[in-house]
Structure 1
Amino acid sequence: MAHPSRGHAVKAVVALLGALLLGGCATPPPASVPPVTVVTFGDSVPAGTACHCTPFPDLYARMVSPVADSVNLAEAGATSADVRRALSGAPARDAVRRATVVLVMAGANDVAAALDDDDPYAAPVAQVGRNVTAALRSVHELRPGVPVLVFGYWNVVEDGVAAGDDDNRRAAAVAATAACDQALREAAAATGVTYVDTLPVFKGGTGTGDPTSLLAADGDHPNAAGHEAIASAAYAAAH
């Protein structure tokens, strides 16, 4: 006949071992992952003009996280001054405060206007540098430490087949684009953010290739393949 107290003790030990085994095998609850919010400022390129496709900021956001939120505040025709001005308004400031990544692409419209008027573009380029630098500093003030990507251009005006055969205009566009990109690169360096060079994306390592296959019919904006290429370049630069 079993001793009553001994039977209770055995049952207690078995129960304890079972609890320990279950506890050891149980999968811990997943850690809470903060939501990804990509906020974008800029002109018609990040806005997706002429593409009728998903623009690169949205594509990039999905690369970062399938459930990322893309807040695309880019607008066709926007200049660097417009981006700087936007960051003084409540909607943009609220968006930046909850951002986990900020994208900025602006300056082409500033420089293209001078190029089209045959005016020297040194002054617009300098203005691009000042405005984008100020905009980036505003972002850091609103959201200290947030990763920021600043994008350069492959051309500040039309390119590829749509650009035509005017060699003088093509040469002027190349020079103006290089100056604009340098201003953007310096703004990024001055504020400690990442610069994304789109020239090799569209024109290859030599910077002289034909970008037509990545451009919309107007030759001035990316098509779907172009937006995918920019998004991939952004992801490679930041991850």
Structure 2
Amino acid sequence: MRAALLLVIMVLGLTLDLPGTAVMETGMVAHVTVAHARAFAASPSAPLAVSPGRAPSHAPATVRTVVGLGDSVPAGSACDCSTYVSLIGEALAARQGTDVVTENLAASGLTTQGLLDQLEDDSARKTLVSANLTIITIGANDFDSSTIKDDDCGPSISMACYKDDLVRLRANMDAILAKLRVLQTRRGSRILVTGYWNVFMDGAMARAEGDRYVTNSDSLTRAVNDTLAASAEAAGVRYVDLYTPFKGESGAGDDTALLADDGDHPGATGHRLIAREVLSALSQD
């Protein structure tokens, strides 16, 4: 088990552009071969360490197809890097010694309503039927960042300006997970829902907007994460906390180094961190 864990840790610290290896990609579909995964894991690049106490406790069931759903985070916007969806496919191929197909259906700007509509598309449904691991990051685009500094958008009055949006988020998320449950009837298929470190900008870029922006966006993010976690629990799927890994237990950590230049989306290190957290969650099933 120690050797398998080391292999996964090494994979997450690398890029996908290794000479002499072959990841077959067509559009947003990647077929990771065992040979590629092994070469990928053998690179001398520095690995990304696993946080103490969060290492996988056992190898998960074999995953053949990984599908990413959601917004610009899994889509990899603002980061010229491998997305966390691709990294997870790489890591699983290396860990399992099997080929893994990765299909990323995420799209920049997608809302929960947009994802509901996508789940009615025949092509997307066909892809999801064959998946045995689906990872979802969605919800941030359901909220208007232009009002975040308004008086009624702060925690002192329970973010009244976002009350209806939070209710709609829960209803849409419940509907999304219900549809996925109907589509994915294969034994052992799993669905994971991630939270956010911030639904808007964070780190240095957020601080440049002032204290009210930082306070209000943090409060909204916590409410969004609570809503996503509650929906996941009700559907019997695993919720993956990203707020704590990015910002620490207190939420006061500076995650600037994990973000892209826009201060909003994860950078390469952020994507590796997300991949690590998802892999850790998989090992707990």
Match of 2:12 in 1: none
Equivalent of 2:197, from 131, 144, 154?
154
Q: 1:59 to 1:115 in 2, by over 3 A?
A: farther
Describe the SS at the equivalent of 1:209: coil
Q: Give 1:205 deviation, angstroms.
A: 2.1
Q: Give, in angstroms, the shift of residue 116 of structure 1.
A: 4.4
Contact 1:129 1:183 in 2 (8 A): yes
Asked whether the equivalents of residues 145 and 200 of structure 2 are also in contact (C-alpha less than 8 Å), the reply is: no
Quick one: which of 230, 234, 249 aligns to 1:190?
A: 234
Per-residue CA deviation, residues 212-239 of structure 1 (Å, 9 max, x unaligned), is: 0100010000000000000000000111
Residue among 221, 224, 237 paired with 1:177: 221
C-alpha distance 188-34 of structure 1, shift in aligned 2 (>3 A): closer
Partner residue of 1:125 out of 142, 146, 166: 166
Does the CA contact (< 8 Å) of 1:112 and 1:156 recur in 2? no
What does residue 67 of structure 2 align with?
39
Contact 1:137 1:191 in 2 (8 A): yes
Contact between 2:149 and 2:212, CA under 8 Å: does it hold in 1?
A: no
Q: Answer with 1 or 2: which has the greater Rg.
A: 1
Q: Secondary structure at the match of 2:143?
A: helix
Task: Sort the Cα spacing of 1:111 and 1:236 in 2 relative to 1 into closer, same or farther, 3 A.
Answer: same
**Given residue 142 of structure 1, which amino acid in structure 2 is its aligned partner?**
L
Paired with 1:82 and 1:115, the residues of 2 have a C-alpha distance of 22
- Counterpart-to-counterpart distance in 2, 1:85 and 1:109: 15
Specify whether residues 115 and 185 from structure 1 end up closer, same or farther in structure 2 by C-alpha distance, changes over 3 A only.
farther
Contact between 2:72 and 2:110, CA under 8 Å: does it hold in 1?
yes
**Contact 1:115–1:173 at 8 Å: present in 2 too?**
no
Structure 2 counterpart of 1:72: 104
Whole-angstrom CA distance in 2 between matches of 1:109 and 1:43: 8
Q: Tell me the CA shift for residue 46 of structure 1.
A: 0.5
Q: Deviations over 1:137-170 (max 9, x none)?
A: 1111011252000010010100111111510111
- Identify the residue that residue 23 of structure 1 maps to in structure 2: none
Letter matched to residue 54 of structure 1: S
Secondary structure of the equivalent of 2:216? helix
State the AA in 2 paired with 1:55: T
What residue number does 1:137 align with?
178
Q: Which has the higher helix share?
A: 1
Which 5+ residue runs of structure 2 have no aligned equivalent? 1-60, 154-160
Shift of 1:91: 1.2
2:279 alignment counterpart? 235
Amino acid paired to 2:105: L
Give 1:68 deviation, angstroms.
1.3
| Corresponding pairs, count | 207
RMSD over aligned CA atoms reads 1.7
CA, structure 1 residues 139+223, in 2 after alignment: closer, same or farther (shift >3 Å)?
same
Aligned partner of 1:28 in structure 2 is none
Q: Please, what TM-score do these two structures have when normalized by structure 1?
A: 0.82
- Structure 2 residue 147 is matched with structure 1 residue 103: no
Q: Is the 8 A contact 1:112 1:157 kept in 2?
A: no
The CA distance in 1 between the partners of 2:202 and 2:145, in whole Å, is 16
The percentage of aligned residue pairs carrying the same residue is: 36
